[in-house]
Amino acid sequence: MKKIIGFVVIAIVGVFLVLGILRSQESEEVLSINDIQQRDGIPVFAQPVARHDVRVLRTYYGTIEARNRSVVTARLMERAADVHVEEGQWVKKGDALVTFDSTASVASVSQARLQLENSKRDLNRMKALRDEGAISEQQLDLAKLGYEVAEENYRTAHESVSLTAPISGTVARIDIDEGDLANPGDPVVTIINDGAYEVSFDITQEDRPLLRVGQPVKLTLNGEKIEGKVTRMSLSAAAETRLFTVYATVPVTESVFPGVLATVEVVVGEADNALAVPAEAILERDGETFVFVVKDGSTAKMQPVQRGVVGEDLVEILQGLSDGDMVATYGHTALEDGARVKLVDEVSSTTSN
């Protein structure tokens, strides 16, 4: 009987406790996020204004080229009979590169050679007659002109059959094998003067005023970092792309080869030891540029600012801020002037092995 009474008492006490808890929960006020923010402040990240070097960087993609390069092309639709050079071979100006197999072309060369020989004999005869006073100076000039025309015809006919090196340098590329058929304009042999290289890259009309001759550039080529300088820039845009071409020097290294791609970085704007804030701190509303400065650790003040150099991560501030001002960098986009804020420390985690 006592056990039954004990169980009943415990049950009654439990019921009263549950009822008490429920009543306390009903009486407790549930606050909204807005109410909490008004009471405690809007949470924001902030950091002090400090001085930094601000850089504006542009990245382009270019091609390595030999500064002195010549691409020898075919002049006729003929088949290659002999290729006289190999890649990597040094050639002098005028050395034979490729000879084409064409009976008609060879015949035209022979005919042009005979005309040249006849013109030379005529010129020598006319010189002798002029010295004797038998002909006028004008007649001698006509003979000279005929010889020059015959010489040019022979040179053109000969070069159509036997291509020669227009410059001295290294054979960098051969685009034809013996027996291959070439069309007029097809590249046959590329010769470079491997004493100097350059990188060419295209820029937009907006970037054209930002670059200048002598400006340093940094190249990434096959994982290697190389420094160069802008040497020349096109004065007009290409009709097809509306882009300007820029050329910069490239030092000769083991990684530099004509025709390979390189990443080119150019600093187009900079401010040293400038008062700067993170780019995300800058806001714009109704055409006004401003930041929120946290006053006394609890109040946000809308502060108009004047920007200078605008980098990717940092922005130079010319007017509106001082060293040490606490500027909101996150959570500030919905703030209003005079809003109550709560500074939150950014949490950084490190991983240890």
- Nearby residues of 335 by Cβ (< 8 Å), 6 or more positions away: 42, 44, 292, 300, 302, 328, 341
The answer to whether position 70 is within a domain reads no
Q: Based on the fold, state whether residues 197 and 112 are members of the same structural domain.
A: no
Q: Which domain holds residue 12?
A: 2-30
Q: Based on the fold, state whether residues 180 and 220 are members of the same structural domain.
A: no
Domain count, the chain: 4
31 burial type by CB count under 10 A (0-12 exposed, 13-18 middle, 19+ buried): exposed
Q: Based on the fold, state whether residues 173 and 81 are members of the same structural domain.
A: yes
CATH number at residue 216: 2.40.30.170
Say whether 339 sits in a helix, a strand or coil. coil
Q: Based on the fold, state whether residues 96 and 170 are members of the same structural domain.
A: yes
Q: Based on the fold, state whether residues 231 and 259 are members of the same structural domain.
A: yes
Say whether 122 sits in a helix, a strand or coil. helix
The answer to whether position 352 is within a domain reads no
Report the distance separating Cα 156 and Cα 300, nearest Å.
81
Q: What is the pLDDT of residue 116?
A: 56
Boundary-marking domain end, from 143, 168, 185: 185
Q: Based on the fold, state whether residues 141 and 125 are members of the same structural domain.
A: yes
Q: Length of the chain in residues, anyone?
A: 353
Q: Based on the fold, state whether residues 288 and 232 are members of the same structural domain.
A: no
CATH number at residue 82: 1.10.287.470
The answer to whether position 351 is within a domain reads no
The answer to whether position 166 is within a domain reads yes
Q: What is the pLDDT of residue 351?
A: 39
Q: What is the pLDDT of residue 230?
A: 95
The answer to whether position 348 is within a domain reads no
The answer to whether position 331 is within a domain reads yes
Q: What is the pLDDT of residue 125?
A: 80
Q: Based on the fold, state whether residues 307 and 337 are members of the same structural domain.
A: yes
Boundary-marking domain end, from 247, 270, 293: 270
- Model's pTM, two decimal places? 0.56
Q: Based on the fold, state whether residues 167 and 118 are members of the same structural domain.
A: yes
Query: What element of type H or E holds 270?
Result: strand 261-278
Q: What is the pLDDT of residue 27?
A: 46
Q: Based on the fold, state whether residues 251 and 302 are members of the same structural domain.
A: no
CATH number at residue 308: 2.40.420.20
Q: Based on the fold, state whether residues 172 and 93 are members of the same structural domain.
A: yes
Closest CA to 87 of 260, 255, 258, 254: 258
> Given phi > 0 = left and psi -120 to 50 = alpha, else beta, which region is 103?
alpha
The answer to whether position 81 is within a domain reads yes
Per-residue buried b or exposed e for 234-259, using 16+ beta carbons within 10 Å of the residue's own CB:
eeebeeeeebbbbbbbbeeeebbebe
Boundary-marking domain end, from 270, 301, 319: 270
Q: Based on the fold, state whether residues 141 and 95 are members of the same structural domain.
A: yes
One digit per residue, the tens of pLDDT, for the chain of length 353 reads 444 444 443 444 344 445 554 555 544 555 555 655 666 678 999 999 999 999 999 999 999 888 888 898 887 777 787 899 999 899 999 898 988 775 545 556 556 566 757 767 877 887 887 787 777 888 877 877 877 776 666 666 555 677 888 888 888 889 999 888 888 889 999 988 766 789 999 999 999 999 999 999 999 988 888 899 999 999 999 999 999 999 998 887 777 888 889 999 999 989 999 999 999 999 999 889 999 999 998 899 999 999 999 988 999 999 999 999 999 999 899 899 999 999 987 543 333 34
The answer to whether position 234 is within a domain reads yes
